[in-house]
Chain A
Amino acid sequence: MLFGVQYWPRIYCKLSSLKSLLRLYCFFLYFHWRMKFTIQINTGPYTHQASDTAYHFTRAALKAGHTIHRIFFYHDGVNNSSIFNVPPRDERNIQQLWSTLAEENSLDMVVCAASAQRRGILDQKEADRHAKPAANIAPNFAISGLGQLIEAAIVSDRLLIFGD
């Protein structure tokens, strides 16, 4: 811990002026309040609230100035990325909400490849490879491996999991 008790005497000695105190305070604020989050979503849209909660959390985190390192869609969560979802007009379109949020904030949204293949979420390359009539992955979602989740967990400050 950077600001553990054992460091206080040394830091205190270095505080020769008000300016350095201010700099220390800014340093403290920056590292303690600007977090790098990774979000994992395990459930599809509509049946469970998890994707909605994750969406509202992500928006609030961005608004507070935090960084979203990656949003990882796992298990049935991959169904959030299907462009073939056509909910009634007076209802929220969860896939579109995610695509738009990603577009506006340059979010990295990754769909687990193994989970996606099991559940029929395909990009054009995979649709061609398996001779399927169409690809269905929505804009701003990318299919990639589970390693992307582990990498994100390693480099992020916090991992939040939303699911069933």
Chain B
Amino acid sequence: MSVSKSFVCINRKAPYGTIYALEALEVVLIAGAFEQQVKLIFMDDGVYQLTRNQNPAGIGMKNFSKTFGALSDYDVDQIFVDSESLNLRGLDATDLQRLTHETNDAEERLSIKVVPRKELVDIIESADVLFNF
């Protein structure tokens, strides 16, 4: 398909308690496979999806948080985290996974950007299609 749209996926739900986080990731991977431009926003309880050291073995579920590391293979390398949501939950950037991607000149860059809420307005407005999970 030749048409390319800008997708923004807003994640606001914590992982494991409901399936939304996992199925949002599936949407993002397929959109990436369709070669669409995809940006991710994590805010409200969605910030918990990105925490390090998740281990759901004890609850009998798959650890899907490892899949975030594969996002750069699909050129999904713009991940925005709402700083206000982190603050309200007693978290900061060091609690989150370290996700990276390579630039065209093989330089390693961080994929996650912690931004103030005001900056999210422009990211949302830049989208052609908005997904919310």
A residues near B (Cβ < 8 Å) are 74-75, 114-115, 145-147, 149-151, 153-155, 159, 161
| Additional A-B contacts beyond A74-B23, A75-B23 (6; CB < 8 A) | A75-B19, A146-B27, A147-B30, A150-B30, A154-B36, A159-B131
- Complex CA gap A74/B22 in Å reads 12
Which segment of B1-9, B39-47, B67-75, B103-111 sits at the interface? B1-9
Quick one: given A75-B19, A155-B3, A159-B130, are A150 and B27 in contact (CB under 8 Å)?
A: yes
Contacts A/B (CB < 8 Å), 9 sampled: A145-B30, A149-B27, A150-B27, A150-B31, A153-B31, A154-B5, A154-B34, A154-B129, A159-B130
Contact indicator A147/B27 (Cβ below 8 Å): no
Q: Given the complex of chains A and B, what is the CA–CA distance between A142 and B1 in angstroms?
A: 22
For the complex, is B55 an interface residue (Cβ under 8 Å from A)? Answer: no
Main secondary structure of the interface of B (DSSP, over half): mixed
- In the bound complex, residues from chain B placing their C-beta under 8 Å from that of A161 are 131-132
Name the residue on B nearest A112 (C-beta).
B23
Residues of B54-96 contacting chain A, CB below 8 A = none
Find chain B residues with CB under 8 A from A151 CB.
1, 34
A114–B36 CB distance below 8 A: no
Q: Is the CB of B3 within 8 A of A154?
A: yes
A120 to chain B, nearest CB (A): 15
Residues from chain A with a CB closer than 8 A to the CB of B3 are 154-155
